[in-house]
Structure 1
Amino acid sequence: MRLRGRKGIREELERQNDLIVLDPRQLKGKWKEHFGNDRPIHVELGMGKGIFISEMSRRNPEINFIGIDRYDELLRRAADKARSLHEEPRQWNLALALLDISHISEVFAEGEVERVYLNFSDPWPKKRHARRRLTAPGFLEQYSGFLNERGEIHLKTDSRSLFEYSLNSFADTNLRMRNISLDLHGEGVREDLVMTEYEKKFVEQGLPIHRCEVLIGKEALRHHEEQRATEREEAL
């Protein structure tokens, strides 16, 4: 994707330091200090225009959200969306950060994040580009380094090839998966889940959305096993 931002966009972003973080590396290990509380932190990698992360922050004030993208223009658009959804003045539970995701481990300390969202990431369909996929083993290793005991990865994509690759990647790295769906909205739109801009378009076109959740932290795994045990007991 190539985006041409308006003239003076960097200066515009600098003026929005209540919401935008242009050098997130400086906050590694200090994100709770940045937000001014110790609430869980959820991160969207590749937020695009910020529709998903802004709506998530509005619906869930008890959680801190960070949207990350590499383009100035997308940060500007995401900031506009966030301000349109949230009343001001307010204490933000949202930060929009400028970063190439390949450097994500330079931004978060060990155990600093509770959840990672990968929404409609670039599928990089050519085999020689597989390592660039955000579910490639190298990226999964980075996520595991900063996700905490309750850590999870939530993946959504319209790309069947990326989804199949991702499931294999999760399995090859011995990660537990749950709630795997090949057609998330096949029986009706899931109102309990926030949709991205791409997702809304694909659903309107009748295209299937693939989704799964990946359990990283020990506490997340323990809670999942307890739920499964309860469900088995109730089925008897």
Structure 2
Amino acid sequence: MRLRHKPWAKEEMENHPHIVMAAPEKSKGKWNSVFGNDNPIYVEVGTGKGQFLTGMGQAHPHINFIGIEKYDSVLITAMERVKEAELPNVKFLNEDVEELLAFFAEGEIARLFINFTDPWPKNRHEKRRLTYKTFLNKYEKILNKGGEIHFKTDNQGLFEYSLHSFSKYGMILNNVSLDLHKSGIEGNIMTEYEQKFHEKNMRIYRCEAEYREK
């Protein structure tokens, strides 16, 4: 994905600290206080331009959402969407998912979304895939008991790899779909990529992976 540089994006996000949170490590273990309620917290890693989280925030006002996106030139669009929609239950972190454990305390998150992540198809890049075991270990630490990962992709190879990765890690697979938009699953909110692929009649793969209680 080629990114159009927006030199003004960082400053604009800094002007909206109630949407794009600065120094998120200071909120570790305190996110419910940040939102001002005890509602469940859902996190999306690699939130992109924010279509998914904006839609989720509108559809589920009693759930708190946090999107993580390291590219400010992309995240600025997400911020503008949430600003326009006036969604107090959606916030963003302009950070790298690699640093996830610095931002959230053990068991602080109820659900995690991975949508249309980079497939990193070459074997030597396996460790960069967001469904690789080291990432699954990080997610497990911040998710509460019985926490789930909801995963969507258009890439069959990444989907097959991820199913294997989830299973090898000992997770329980639920609602596995090889063609999401023909599966009858209700309440699906599309991302920008998903909408584009759907309009081209491309297949979308989806599953839910649940951590076993230890």
Name the TM tier (shorter chain).
Answer: over 0.9
Say which is worse superposed, 41-50 or 71-80, in terms of deviation: 71-80
Gaps of 5+ in 2: none
User: Which one of 83, 92, 112 corresponds to residue 96 of structure 1?
Assistant: 92
**Does the 8 A contact of 1:23 with 1:98 survive in 2?**
no
Runs of at least 4 residues of structure 1 off by over 6 A? none
User: Which one of 192, 208, 222 corresponds to residue 187 of structure 2?
Assistant: 192
Q: Which has the larger radius of gyration?
A: 1
2-structure distance, mates of 1:159, 1:22: 33
Map 1:76-95 onto structure 2 (within 5 A). Answer: 76-86=76-86, 92-95=88-91
User: Which one of 119, 127, 130 corresponds to residue 131 of structure 1?
Assistant: 127
Map 1:93-172 onto structure 2 (within 5 A). Answer: 93-172=89-168
Map 1:1-236 onto structure 2 (within 5 A). Answer: 1-86=1-86, 92-186=88-182, 192-216=187-211, 218=213
Displacement of 1:8: 3.0
Tell me the SS of whatever aligns to 2:138. helix
**What is the TM-score when the length of structure 1 is the normalising length?**
0.86
Say which is worse superposed, 108-117 or 71-80, in terms of deviation: 71-80
Displacement of 1:137: 0.3
- Relative distance call for 1:99 and 1:217 in structure 2 (3 A) is farther
- For residues 115-158 of structure 1, give each alpha carbon's deviation from its aligned partner in whole angstroms, at most 9, with x where no partner exists: 00000000000000001000000000000001002411000000
Give the CA RMSD over aligned residues: 1.7
2-structure distance, mates of 1:68, 1:161: 24
**Kindly, what percent of the aligned residue pairs are identical?**
46
- For residues 202-227 of structure 1, give each alpha carbon's deviation from its aligned partner in whole angstroms, at most 9, with x where no partner exists: 11111110000011264xx9xxxxxx
1-structure distance, mates of 2:209, 2:19: 29
Displacement of 1:82: 1.3
**What is the TM-score when the length of structure 2 is the normalising length?**
0.94
- Relative distance call for 1:96 and 1:78 in structure 2 (3 A) is same
Say which is worse superposed, 157-166 or 98-107, in terms of deviation: 98-107
For 1:65, give the aligned amino acid.
F
Displacement of 1:38: 1.1
**Does the 8 A contact of 1:110 with 1:146 survive in 2?**
yes
1-structure distance, mates of 2:167, 2:119: 18
How many residues are paired up?
A: 214
